[in-house]
Amino acid sequence: MKKPKVFIDGREGTTGLQIFDRLGNRSDIELLLIDEDKRKDNKERKALLNKADLVFLCLPDVAAIESVSLIENNLTRVIDTSTARRTSPDWAYGFSELSKEHLERVRHARFVANPGCHAAGIIASVYPLIKLGIMPEDYLLSIFSLTGYSGGGKAMIKTYTEEKTPDMYAPRLYGLDLKHKHLPEIQYVTGLSNPPLFCPIVDDYYSGMATTIMLHKSMLNDNPNPSYIRQAFEEYYKERFKEREHQIFVSPELGSGTLSSNWGAGEDSMRITVSGNDEQIIVTAQFDNLGKGAAGAAVQNMNIMLGI
């Protein structure tokens, strides 16, 4: 059987390197490589983009859009890890665990938009609550999200490892204008009618992420307690998927003590934990921002698209 040819456009970036690490030793695909001195040569890139059966775009938005314009055939399939197409109806949203419809659309799509890192944890928590009728679509949602500095890409990694200033030894809030680039994606996929109040936090560790949504029981339908919501998540994710590529797991117990934001670093799975009391509830998704939040999710989508 002929091996699918795969090309990573933008392999030198953080996500591209992570995808390359995951694919480098695989024997079920043929990885197309570009010479280092030709990685910005559009003629060479164009040839590889059109030779590949599937392409990963690990580029800034404008460059990712340009790459697609270089593809002149109707066969090459594309996974875009940038923010450029995450709200486009012409691109499948690459989060197969959300529903069977998402899974089938990814399986048959030519163009797939890979989820953003913060967005992945938030959507995994919010989407089921809305679909199950627990959270109203007009819920005024508050979110905080902790991430390692690798989420900021090569520039932030260099700053933390080579140019660290005293304030970088402590957690730092950012996105203080409350217009984070993942908000349109979160609303588009979940169906929330109001933008969430979202403040991300970066801290002095390499990778790992914990996104937390905060809920008032009295503002949810049927006044559910934490145990009810935990069971709802467990049934939602367990009943819908028995596929090998399913990567979301629900903690069997309610949260107590502490939850680490670097749980699962180096892995491609996500764990959802429900915590709280009789009046207030939090739902936390823990995962690697480079794994299920980026490269791991992209490779998962490739496996589904190629039937591997």
Instruction: Report how far residue 277's alpha carbon sits from residue 297's, in angstroms, rounded to the nearest whole number.
Output: 33
Q: Are strands 209-216 and 5-9 parallel, antiparallel or unpaired?
A: unpaired
| Closest to 213 measured CA to CA, from 154, 117, 126, 134 | 126
* 117 tagged catalytic: yes
Structure tokens, 4: 């699918």
Q: Which of 98, 113, 117, 305 is catalytic?
A: 117
The distance of Cα 107 from the centroid of its chain, to the nearest Å, equals 17
| Closest to 15 measured CA to CA, from 205, 203, 295, 299 | 295
Return the DSSP state at 269. Answer: -
CA dihedral 183, 114, 206, 274 (to 10 degrees): 60
Structure tokens, 183: 């908000």
Q: Which residues contact 272 (CB under 8 A, 6 or more apart)?
A: 124, 125, 233, 237, 248, 249, 250, 251, 283, 284, 285, 286
Instruction: Report how far residue 10's alpha carbon sits from residue 17's, in angstroms, rounded to the nearest whole number.
Output: 8
Catalytic residues: 117
